[in-house]
Amino acid sequence: MDGRTGPGGQGQGQGRGPQRPSFPWTLILWLLLLFFLLGPWISSLFRSKEVEISYSAFRRQLEAGNVQQVMVRGEKITGQLKKPASEQAAAGKTTTYTEFFTYVPSFGDSQLLSLLEAQKVSIVTKPQRNMSWWTDILVGLLPFLILIALAVWVLRRGGLGGSQGIFSFLGSRAHLYEQRKERTTFKDVAGARGAKIELQEIIDYLRDPARIQRLGGKAPKGVLLVGPPGTGKTLLARAVAGEANVPFLSITGSDFVEMFVGVGASRVRSLFADAKKMAPVIIFIDELDSVGHRRGIGVGGGQDEREHTLNQLLSEMDGFEPNEHVVVMAATNRPDVLDPALLRPGRFDRRITVDLPTLKDRVEILKIHARDKPLSPDVDLEEVARGTPGFSGADLENLLNEAAILAARRNQDTIDRKDIDDSIDTILMGLERENIAITNQERRLVAYHEGGHAVVAAVLPNTDPIHKVTIVPRGRAMGVTQQLPEKEKYIYPEDFLLNRLAVMMGGRAAEQVVEGVATSGAADDLKQATVLARRMVVEWGMGESLGEMAVGEGQEGVLPGAEIPPRPEYSEETAREIDEEIKKILREAYNRAVEVLQEHREGLDRVAQDLLEKEEVTGKEVLEIIGVKKDQTPAEELASQSVSG
């Protein structure tokens, strides 16, 4: 359960903050009593200075031509004289008036209208109303009552200075996670062994600060978690707080930035002020790149609200005021755009990389997310982990969730292997397109296209094993050839990359070998192949003419707010050489794919025929059809070797 921090925030092991003021019912009752007691007097204040006169006096003034206008409302006549007149009251007191009111006698006056017209008096008529004095008061005091109601609402919300007051947008928006209610520890985080070891020092410091201080050391003020989305950076931060048993304040970088200048800086000050009251405490800022962009690159310059917020954050982390026992943790997947002042020692001292999980990590993650899911005996989580390379922890959680949904849709009591395989296909390739209309000729082209990928991947050495080939339309693809690596790869040899390019070109090559035409079905293959070839030349120095020269591409992308795109770090002549190298590598990969398919044309025809009949062929069946034998470690043995480290 989370709560917002503020002056009345409650941290672990501390007492409750100030209680919200109770509603002042007694005061409201006294005000209502006064309202009714003083009602007639207040009503008279809202009435005009009209004097009640007798009907005879009204007739005399009318016959004398001294009446300027009258307003008739039922039996009441209200009027205004041209010049003041005097009337003697019953007590003998003389009253001078220009505005008056009187009442028509119950027996009426048939000559009144004729007399008014003869004297050319302006006549206004209005419908009769029956309003009591308290109604008059209510109408007159309505604006004041609205203001009072608004003031009471503000009071009930905690006042102008409360955490939920009318100016609460200036305060911190951090969520407080109390460890007593929702504690997360390293047991809930699978994998990330290296990150856990580095974070253990932070835990030791929060548990026993004197242990480091007596040796003259200081714990890191800031820890930056860097890694792809979904790798568990936020979960690791919460686990650090759970292991150290300290409060955990979580906020995203976008919560600091508003359109009003100074709001973000105010929220930063409020956040650190609240944290100091709870110390020792962990502040976690997710998506730090949304507020920590490099300064001085936009049109707004130093006047940008984002830069004001960043300046305040820099000051709070390492300014004049010490932040003892306050550890700031942040997460981002774009460390390249962060301001250098954030990354210097004294602010984010430590940078921890949280990579995608390895095979062993994926097995542990799957076991955690499978705790509350009934799996059938045919589900081998180690085999599932091997079939999900590149999946993050969030992807694996989503995989098992999709499998559970699919099993429920099929009215099953357990989740079987087919449910998991179908979920993997859905995540990797998209939903199956069942109602697509495709001609026999198009279907044949798709079969040969995917067969071309499969045959080239099966024949060439040093390629990832084929998992399966399908011509079932999924997502935007009409068919897919799926390859799964035998083990985790961190370094890619040049021959592996060249063979990978040949596999990508296998679809276009099969179209040319069989039909002698080129189709739009190879669009995605050509795009991926061009990207890979460019990286080989530009970044990895695998081009013949450039040799071991990595020319780079300037800055990594254009930063938000940048006035001009980054300039390439090479000349136009070098750019032409790069294009020629890329073209040469792609042409050689295409020619190699054509040679393989021409040599194994019979196997290509058989694979395509099986795809037309069954729509899906496994990698083992492809090898049997072509008659190629590859030395591959059995899946069970490979998984056990990899998991054992």
- Averaged pLDDT, 167-179: 53
- Averaged pLDDT, 204-212: 74
- Kindly give, in sequence order, each residue whose CB lies less than 8 Å from that of residue 394, ignoring residues fewer than 6 positions away: 229, 230, 231, 232
Q: Return d(Cα 642, Cα 638) in angstroms, integer.
A: 6
What pLDDT digit, counting tens, does each position of 586-610 carry? 999 999 999 999 999 999 999 999 9
Q: Return d(Cα 406, Cα 403) in angstroms, integer.
A: 5
Candidates 305, 307, 364, 450; catalytic one: 450
DSSP one-letter string for 273-301: HHHHHH-SEEEEEESGGGT-BPTT-SSSG
Look up residue 74 and give its two tokens: 């039922």
Evaluate the omega torsion of the peptide bond into residue 335 and state whether it is cis, within 30 degrees of 0: no
What pLDDT digit, counting tens, does each position of 66-114 carry? 888 888 887 888 888 888 888 765 445 677 888 888 888 878 788 888 8
Eight-state DSSP code of residue 477: B
Map residue 494 onto helix, strand or coil.
Answer: helix
Q: Among residues 392, 391, 395, 421, which one has the least CA distance to residue 406?
A: 421
Residue 40 has pLDDT above 90, yes or no: no
Looking at residue 531, its pLDDT comes to: 93
Looking at residue 164, its pLDDT comes to: 44
Q: Return d(Cα 303, Cα 326) in angstroms, integer.
A: 29
What pLDDT digit, counting tens, does each position of 485-537 carry? 777 777 889 999 999 999 999 999 999 999 888 888 888 899 999 999 999 99
- 500 contacts 457 by C-beta, under 8 angstroms: no
432 is catalytic: no
CATH of span 47-130: 3.30.720.210
| Superfamily in which the 169-353 domain is placed by CATH | P-loop containing nucleotide triphosphate hydrolases (3.40.50.300)
- Which CATH class for the 359-429 domain? mainly alpha
Eight-state DSSP code of residue 415: B
Mean pLDDT lowest for which of 120-124, 313-317, 367-371, 485-489? Answer: 485-489
* Residue 480 to residues 100, 297, 313, 430, 525, Cα–Cα distance (Å): 96, 43, 48, 11, 11
- Averaged pLDDT, 463-485: 83
- Averaged pLDDT, 412-434: 81
- Averaged pLDDT, 409-437: 81
- Averaged pLDDT, 8-23: 39
* Residue 167 to residues 157, 161, 170, 171, 474, Cα–Cα distance (Å): 11, 7, 6, 8, 51
Query: Which of 154-168, 290-304, 440-454 reaches the highest mean pLDDT?
Result: 440-454
**Contacts made by residues 433-439, CB under 8 angstroms, sequence distance 24+:** 433/473, 433/474, 433/475, 436/473, 438/473, 438/478
- Report residue 262's pLDDT band, with 50, 70 and 90 as the boundaries: low
User: Which pTM does this prediction carry?
Assistant: 0.60
> What is the third-level CATH fold of 440-553+570-643?
Methane Monooxygenase Hydroxylase; Chain G, domain 1 (1.20.58)
Looking at every residue in the chain, the average pLDDT score rounds to 76
Look up residue 230 and give its two tokens: 């979904």
Looking at residue 526, its pLDDT comes to: 93
- Averaged pLDDT, 445-466: 91
Other beta carbons within 10 Å of 323? 19
SS percent in the chain: helix, strand, coil, step 5: 50, 15, 40
The answer to whether the Cα torsion of 415, 419, 424, 426 is positive or negative is negative
* Residue 618 to residues 181, 482, 486, Cα–Cα distance (Å): 49, 9, 16
Residue 543 has pLDDT above 50, yes or no: yes
Q: Among residues 397, 434, 404, which one has the least CA distance to residue 420?
A: 404
**Contacts made by residues 94-100, CB under 8 angstroms, sequence distance 24+:** 95/51, 97/50, 97/51, 97/53, 99/48, 99/49, 99/50, 99/51, 100/50, 100/51, 100/52, 100/53, 100/58
Q: Among residues 632, 590, 617, 626, which one has the least CA distance to residue 499?
A: 590
The domain ranges of the chain are 2-12+22-38+135-166, 47-130, 169-353, 359-429, 440-553+570-643
Strand order in the sheet with 67-73: 51-52, 94-103, 76-88, 67-73, 122-126
Which has more confidence, 32 or 519?
519
What pLDDT digit, counting tens, does each position of 184-204 carry? 778 778 777 778 888 887 787
Mean pLDDT lowest for which of 268-277, 457-466, 571-580? Answer: 268-277
